[in-house]
Amino acid sequence: MSPNLLIRNVFASGHDFWHTAPIPRLSVPSIKCSDGPNGVRGSKFFDSVPGLCIPCGSGLGATWNKALLQSAGVLLSQECKAKGAHAWLGPTVNMHRSPLNGRGFESFSEDPYLSGILAARIIEGVQSGGSAAVLKHFVANDQETEKRSVDVVISDRTLREIYLLPFQLALKYGKPEAVMSSYNKVQGVHCSESKNLLQDILRTEWGFDGLIMSDWWVF
């Protein structure tokens, strides 16, 4: 394993539920992440400090208002600071493929172009205040049922034109600090270990040089 890859693996491992492990010899501190997307959760799932509750992704997406999305990002960054979080785990740019998706409300739209453009603006707002945005869930994570094992079998054209496009646009125009991979498989390979998705497309083709992290419960 190369030193850079080793550093990325260590850095992305959890020191506890919300903090990455520090790397003292490189003066890299522990990074606190906080869940989104329509607020900043903080460190607790229950009995947490009350937080901001902006409209959910679907509500924001229905406005088609780029300036509003950027303003929402600024508010989220301020809440990150108030709760001591360095990274906000959002936005979500998965597709509205079915109304039965239990987390569809997190995403902006069924339209990949609209989703990517709006995501870029909320990312700009979040990162304008010094917080990091974590674009998620990469990629084709569009159902909750068996999401850790489902295999999304789609053509390359469908993958490119529907599922990857919002990520590509958000990365190009919003420049998030990090990307979170999804639980599911695409073409038989878990996204969190897919060379094609993470290395060939995200790193090499799109030139992303930020942090790639897995989702929270990867077995």
Residue 115 one-letter amino acid: S
- Provide the token pair at 104: 């569809």
Strand order in the sheet with 132-138: 33-35, 87-89, 132-138, 178-181, 211-213
Q: Which residue has the tokens 């780029």?
A: 66
Q: Out of 47, 111, 151, 215, which one is annotated catalytic?
A: 215
What angle in degrees, to the nearest 10, is found between the helix axes of 165-174 and 112-128? 30
Structural contact between residues 89 and 136, judged by C-beta atoms closer than 8 angstroms? yes
Phi, psi for residue 64 in degrees, rounded to 5: 55, 25
Q: Which two tokens stand for residue 147?
A: 């999401």
Active site includes 111? no
Please name which of 178, 59, 57, 169 lies closest in space to residue 117, comparing C-alpha atoms.
Answer: 169
CA atoms within 13 A on the CB side of 117: 14
Coil vs helix vs strand at 50? coil
d(CA 165, CA 197): 13
Q: Annotated catalytic sites, by residue?
A: 215
